[in-house]
Amino acid sequence: MKIILEQLLNGLTIGSFYALIALGYSMVYGVMKLINFAHGDLFALGSYLGYTLLVFGSTYVTVTFGIWGGMIAAMLIAAIGIGIAGTLIERIAYRPIYSVGRLPAVVSALGASIVIQNGIMVAWGPRPQAYPSQVVPSIMLNIGEFKITLLQVIILLISFMLMGLLYYIVQKTTFGAAIRACALDRDTAALMGINIETIIFFIFALGPALGGMSGVMVGMYYRKISFIMGWNYGLKAFTATILGGIGNIPGAMLGGLLLGVLEMLGSAYISTAYKDVFVFLVLILVLIFRPRGLLGEKVAEKV
Amino acid sequence: MKLNKNITEKNSIFKNWMVILAAILFIILPFIINAYWVDVLFFFGIYALLGLSLNIVLGEVGLFDLGHIGFMAIGAYTTAILNATFGIPIIILLPVSAIAAGAFAWLVCSPIIHLRGDYLCIVTIGMGEIVRLTLNNNPFGITGGPNGVFGIDFPSLGSIFVVDNSTKFYYFIWLIVGLTIIGLVNLQRSRIGRAWNCIREDEIAAEATGIDVRYYKLLAFVLGAGLAGVAGNVYATKLMMVSPESFNFMESCMLFCIVLIGGMGSIPGVLIGAAAISLFPEFFRTFAQYRMLIFGAAMVAMMVFKPGGIWPRKRGAVKFKSLLMKAGDENG
């Protein structure tokens, strides 16, 4: 029982990374109907930005803000940096081709992804980098009979806070209503006086910013980061997005957390080597029986 | 009217000349360039064949398939295992790999063929990844895990026609590509090709006109996978080994780009796309580590400036015009 609970907790930790990245995919898809293949690499870029801030900037960042402040500052700066990178990509690679259908944007996104990936390789070198070991003091907390590290608590707290914040913005505020209106029907939303440009800017800044923060947390959790990790996490997060129902914000969160838990349980109780196979099999099975994902609504085909 | 007719005829003759010139160029090319570039052109041929195979699924029917490399992996591993373990000649395995890949496609695509757009896309990604990860995990000790399978023979017909050097491999792959192109051009003009295009343009309308959408979609997947299996066979014999890392997600994405850079459903477009993807990194080898950076930027630029592809397919306009003229001639 204790082991299952600990595995569940590990799964939730990984799942919260996936969920944060998945939110970026889902928001962009919801409004633009575009799979932002560069999103995974933006996440990796965020991880590297955080790495630079925590290692080379430690004399400034950590001294100025203290240990906790340093961590928060690194995450915020990474988030801002990746938000800017996300909007830049939208301007350069996607905006000119919105009008010509969806497929050219896929190639453009893949191209942007290759550019970011190789940009990281050129800038930071092809070898994997290691995050500093004591970003957060490694303290083991004993709650009852099961153990949890302080780092995990912090990661879960921050992730759930971010997810809650996003949920609040999208579901409860006027601005969120505007985003949802755009997701339903962009042309009609524009006729109702919603500024589509602002919405798109916001979507492409916020989604990647969440991914960037997730990148910093992955760096702190696993400590090893590499320039190709964007593909792997991006693919998993995209899977999570589809699992929950693409374009659906709570769906992306649920899909991400579920995927993390499935992966952990799969590697603990089935086979470590086949954990990814297990994840994809579950995805395919879900889609066979619920073709719109877990929380996706069935949309009638327009004739 | 007469003027128009002359123009269309001139056009088709011009096109035929282009094809013949290209064919002659391809035949004499190995005598001009060195062995390294012959190898590069061989891989261009492999990518062309894979591009043509994906073009059936993505270009003709409009199904998003981002796991196409998985079918090639099935073909390559079928060849590798049956040849290295049981010593079955490669030339027999050529159709066998095609059938194996096609059968695999039928098996895995049957339950998912009803999925639309992006959902089909992620399922094919998952399928491709499952193939790669399974090969990597060495099930039943037959795939050799991450090391792959070694010691694959050359293709041979008796003891006289042995494909054993770069130049022969070059002719071998381009012969296959040539035959494939002839087959696909005929297929495009056939009832099947028209049904495929109809499904791509409007699935509901296609179904309403009595096209068995499910059957034709599956047919596209099976044919595409079979061709990818052939490519896998030639690839395995050329390298004499196969390993799971050759069949990763990135390769599937590259195939996707080949079809879209060239122009959806256009056979000359696919060839140009394959040339862009396979030759571009070679020309930019001097830039070393910046090579892929430039490559990615070029992909973005290509789509921004020419979103329809380099050589988009013009659909039957000329043919239609000549039909009209025939009717006109008969009447007048």
User: Which of A106, A117, A121 is opposite residue B256, by nearest beta carbon?
Assistant: A106
CA distance B231 to B40: 15
Tens digit of each residue's pLDDT (9 = 90 or more) over B185-239: 888 888 999 899 889 888 889 889 988 999 999 999 999 999 999 999 999 988 8
Q: Hey, of B54, B65, B122, which one would you mutate to test binding to chain A, going by the most A CBs within 10 A of its CB?
A: B122
Q: Does residue A286 contact residue A293 with C-beta atoms inside 8 Å?
A: yes
Q: Is B259 on the interface with A (CB under 8 A)?
A: no
CB contact under 8 A, B303 and A97: yes
pLDDT of residue A255: 92
* Cβ–Cβ gap A100/B307 under 8 Å: yes
pLDDT given for residue B324 in this prediction = 53
- Report the gap between the CA of A255 and the closest CA in chain B (Å): 14
pLDDT at B287: 75
**Which phi and psi angles does B81 have, rounded to 5°?**
-70, -45
B201–chain A nearest CA distance, Å: 13
Q: What pLDDT, on the 0 to 100 scale, is given for residue B14?
A: 56
Is some CB atom of chain B closer than 8 A to the CB atom of A291? yes
Two structure tokens written together for B129: 């990844």
Give percent above pLDDT 90 in chain B. Answer: 22
Question: Which sign, positive or negative, has the C-alpha torsion B112, B116, B122, B128?
Answer: positive
Nearest residue of A to residue B289, measured between CA atoms: A122
Strands B156-157 and A224-225, bridge-based pairing? unpaired
Strand partners, A148: A141
pTM listed for this prediction? 0.85
Task: Sort out which chain A residues have CB atoms less than 8 A from B296's CB and list them.
Answer: 110-118
CA A111 to chain B, closest CA, distance in angstroms equals: 4
Q: Across the interface, do B257 and A110 touch by the CB < 8 Å criterion?
A: yes
Which residues in chain B have their CB less than 8 angstroms from residue A97's CB?
303-304, 307
Using CB atoms, pick whichever of A112, A122, A280 lies closest to residue B300.
A112
Question: What's the pLDDT at A256?
Answer: 93
- Whether residue B117 has pLDDT greater than 80: no
- Assign 3-class secondary structure to A52-73: HHHHCCHHHHHHHHHHHHHHHH
SS3 A142: strand
Chain B nearest CA to A224, separation (Å) = 22
- Tell me the helix, strand and coil percentages in chain B, rounded to 5: 80, 0, 20
Cβ–Cβ under 8 Å, residues B151 and B84: yes
Query: In this complex, do B134 and A280 lie within 8 Å of one another by their Cβ atoms?
Result: no
Residue B53: pLDDT over 70: yes
Cα distances from B167 to residues B48, B95, B159, B163, in angstroms, run 17, 23, 18, 9
Beta carbons of B303 and A280 less than 8 Å apart: no
Higher pLDDT residue, A19 or B288?
Answer: A19
Smallest Cα distance from B115 to chain A, Å: 6
Q: How many CB atoms lie within 10 A of CB B291?
A: 17
The pLDDT of residue B99 is: 94
Answer positive or negative: Cα dihedral of A66, A72, A75, A77: negative
Give the model's pLDDT for residue B8: 47
**pLDDT value for A63:** 63
Q: Find out whether B48 and B274 touch, Cβ atoms under 8 Å.
A: yes
What is the pLDDT averaged over residues B163-183?
86
Determine the pLDDT at residue B318. 44
- Decide which of B203 and B51 is more confident: B51
CA R_g for chain B = 21
Sign of the dihedral defined by the CA atoms of residues B26, B29, B35, B41, in that order: negative
Please report the pLDDT score of residue B329 as a whole number. Answer: 53
Residue found under tokens 């999208």: A170
Supply the pLDDT for residue B253.
86
For residue B209, which amino acid is it?
T
Q: What is the pLDDT of residues B235-283, one digit of tens each?
A: 998 888 888 888 988 888 888 888 888 888 888 888 888 988 888 888 8
What pLDDT, on the 0 to 100 scale, is given for residue B2? 46
Tens digit of pLDDT at every position of chain A (303 positions): 778 888 888 899 999 999 999 999 999 988 888 888 899 999 999 999 998 888 876 666 666 666 677 788 888 999 999 999 999 999 998 888 888 878 888 889 989 999 999 999 999 988 998 888 767 777 777 777 777 888 888 899 999 999 999 999 988 999 999 998 988 888 899 999 999 989 999 999 999 999 999 999 999 888 889 988 988 899 889 889 988 888 788 899 999 999 999 988 888 888 777 888 888 888 888 888 887 888 876 665 555
Q: Is the pLDDT of residue B90 over 90?
A: no
Q: Which of residues 246 through 275 in chain A touch B, CB cutoff 8 A?
A: 246, 273-274
Query: Quick one: tokens of B318?
Result: 């000329």
Concatenating the DSSP letter of every residue in A79-107 gives HHHHHHHHHHHIIIIIGGGGGG-SHHHHH
Distance from A154 to chain B by nearest Cα, in Å? 32
pLDDT at B37: 85
Residue with tokens 């060495």: B138
The pLDDT value given to residue A254: 92
Question: Nearest to residue A222, comparing CAs of A38, A46, A47?
Answer: A47
Q: Does A105 touch chain B (CB under 8 A)?
A: yes
Structure tokens belonging to residue A155: 């990661």
Among the partner residues B119, B292, B302, nearest to A118 by beta-carbon distance = B292
Examine the pLDDT at B321 and tell me if it is beyond 60: no
Query: Chain B contacts of A120, Cβ < 8 Å?
Result: none
Helix A196-222 vs helix A150-172: crossing angle, to nearest 10: 170
**Given this structure, which CATH class describes domain A2-289?**
mainly alpha
